[in-house]
């Protein structure tokens, strides 16, 4: 009885590893830090070797549109990005130095 109790106590106190989430089910990731600017979003940092850096997004860019989604604040944008699946390719419209640019971004997961 002691060994059964010890096993039960030991097993319930051990940390349970989280299962790995396959990429196709992982939340989407761009690799940027952003701040709201009016109803749009200003890119403040682009993480090296991420979808955003490979697409050519730069700090200071004003994010206008992702695919067919018109940007309307950073909270909704963050939520929308996480619903995208890795491998999804999207046109991204940014304003840089007063000119609109259309870039192509392929979503990945953060794993």
Q: CA 99, CA 47: separation in Å to the nearest integer? A: 23
Q: Is residue 69 part of a domain?
A: yes
**What's the maximum distance between 2 C-alpha atoms anywhere in the chain?**
76
The per-residue b/e assignment along 60-98, b for 16 or more CB within 10 angstroms, e otherwise, is ebbbbbbeeeebeebeebeeebeebebeeebebbbeeee
pLDDT digits (tens, 9 = 90+) for 57-83: 999 999 999 888 888 877 777 777 878
Domain that holds residue 66: 25-106
**pLDDT of amino acid 56:** 97
Q: Is residue 48 part of a domain?
A: yes
Q: Is residue 1 part of a domain?
A: no
Q: Is residue 56 part of a domain?
A: yes
Q: Is residue 18 part of a domain?
A: no
Q: Is residue 6 part of a domain?
A: no
Weakest-pLDDT range from 4-8, 24-28, 49-53: 4-8
Query: Residue 88: which CATH number?
Result: 2.30.42.10
Beta carbons of 23 and 111 less than 8 angstroms apart: yes
Q: Is residue 77 part of a domain?
A: yes
Instruction: Note the pTM of the prediction, 2 decimals.
Output: 0.73
3-state secondary structure of 92: strand
Which residue do the tokens 């990005």 mark?
A: 81
Q: CA 90, CA 78: separation in Å to the nearest integer? A: 15
- β partners of residue 34: 43
Q: Is residue 80 part of a domain?
A: yes
């Amino acid at each position: 009885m002691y060994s059964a109790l010890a096993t039960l106590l030991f097993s319930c106190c051990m940390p349970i590893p989280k299962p790995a989430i396959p990429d196709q089910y992982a939340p989407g990731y761009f690799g940027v830090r952003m701040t709201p600017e009016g109803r749009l979003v200003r890119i403040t940092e682009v993480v090296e070797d991420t979808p955003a850096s490979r697409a050519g997004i730069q700090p200071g860019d004003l994010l206008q549109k992702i695919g067919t989604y018109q940007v309307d604040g950073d909270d909704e944008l963050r939520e929308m990005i996480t619903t995208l699946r890795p491998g999804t390719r999207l046109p991204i419209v940014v304003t840089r130095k007063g000119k609109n640019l259309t870039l192509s971004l392929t979503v990945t997961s953060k794993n």
